[in-house]
Amino acid sequence: MAHLFNRNILLGVSGGIAAYKSAELVRALQERGAKVRVIMTHGAQEFITPLTLQALSGNPVHTELLDERAELGMGHIELARWADALLIAPATADLISRLSAGRADDLLTTVALATAAPMMLAPAMNQQMWKDQATAANINTLVERGVKIVGPEAGLQACGDIGPGRMEAPEVIADAAGGLFTSGELAGKRIVITAGPTREALDPVRYISNNSSGKMGYALAQAAVDAGAITTLVSGPVNLAAPEHTQVLNVQSAEEMLDQCLQLLPDCDIFIACAAVADYRPATVQNQKIKKGPEEVTLQMVRNPDIVATVASHEQKPYTVGFAAETNDVLAYARDKMQRKGLDMIVANDVADQSIGFNSDENAVTVLWPDGEQTIERANKTTIARQIVHLIAQHS
């Protein structure tokens, strides 16, 4: 059984008799650890009620593109960003045709255009419709765009015909969905990723830190595992569950993080410095709690080691990727940082935008390397991480 632990699966249900199987599919996805939200076309609602899928998924079912309440928050865009994958089952001949043409005339097709997440279709239709040249051409078009197809099965159909066109079994579809997150692009590579903030102690109970949640670094670790890498996460203090199949080494300060990273370098092929490391630390750490005293105090600080620059200059340097969180002139500062520190790649994001970056589930970044760059539009951090890992695999 494939695992979909903590994956956000957006299930699209279109109007075919096989829509009744979508109830079983919701369960199968949840059994594999997925969080499921459902979009139903008008046709789908003729075969199965939204209430059934709402009760099974535990989330409201989305049916209308122009829903005034949802659209106050740009509902279709929020769904598109939430999804780690868009799975459409059943996918009728009509829906496949509209997706192939790039139509956006209902909620499901609009979300399909608006999401950066991978897409998988489970076709279901009459056997002659499946064999028709138009359907074949539409399927080929979607496959060329990167859409995955699972099924259909051959057998007895509701209309009495026998042949290919039956929707694949829900368990098979759910297992196939797990394959959307496993690329093998970095199979056997050893990757070290830093994540989260560092804490620089003032005394036994106080410290200096920042707002990093660690979500981006943890998403990168999961994406690296999905790409087949042997992944170690050197993490500052966060409130996140460790990604499966990842070794997590917990640290507090920048110096502790650097020590751990240097110990790992001999067996490291790729190093991703995603942690928000404090630039400075207190010059002295008090052994006892500092008591309240005068109205003003002066705190003497010293510079912390630059972890990514140290790794990039090491004699055992791996392929080194840095992050640049900036509030202005983002790309200029990022490219300068990449050149100055000897990095192979850098990921730049604008932390002045409060809706992305620190503590958010979403991000938008530009990835730069010495002779190129690529912008990754706003999406959830899982999707962003997967695309960053894909670029690393291409260039490392």
Q: Is 198 exposed, middle or buried (0-12, 13-18, 19+ CB in 10 A)?
A: buried
Q: Give CA–CA dist 20/223, Å, rounded.
A: 33
Strands 345-350 and 362-369 come out as: antiparallel
The gap from C-alpha 206 to its chain's centroid, in whole angstroms, comes to: 34
Q: Give CA–CA dist 339/116, Å, rounded.
A: 30
Q: Give CA–CA dist 223/365, Å, rounded.
A: 16
The dihedral through the CA atoms of 281, 284, 290, 296 has a sign that is negative
The dihedral through the CA atoms of 172, 177, 178, 179 has a sign that is positive
The gap from C-alpha 90 to its chain's centroid, in whole angstroms, comes to: 25
CA-nearest of 137, 143, 145, 159 to 115 is 145
Question: Within the chain, how many helices (H) and strands (E) appear?
Answer: 14, 19
Identity of residue 22:
S
Helix (H, G, I), strand (E, B) or coil at 354: coil
List, by residue number, the catalytic residues: 159
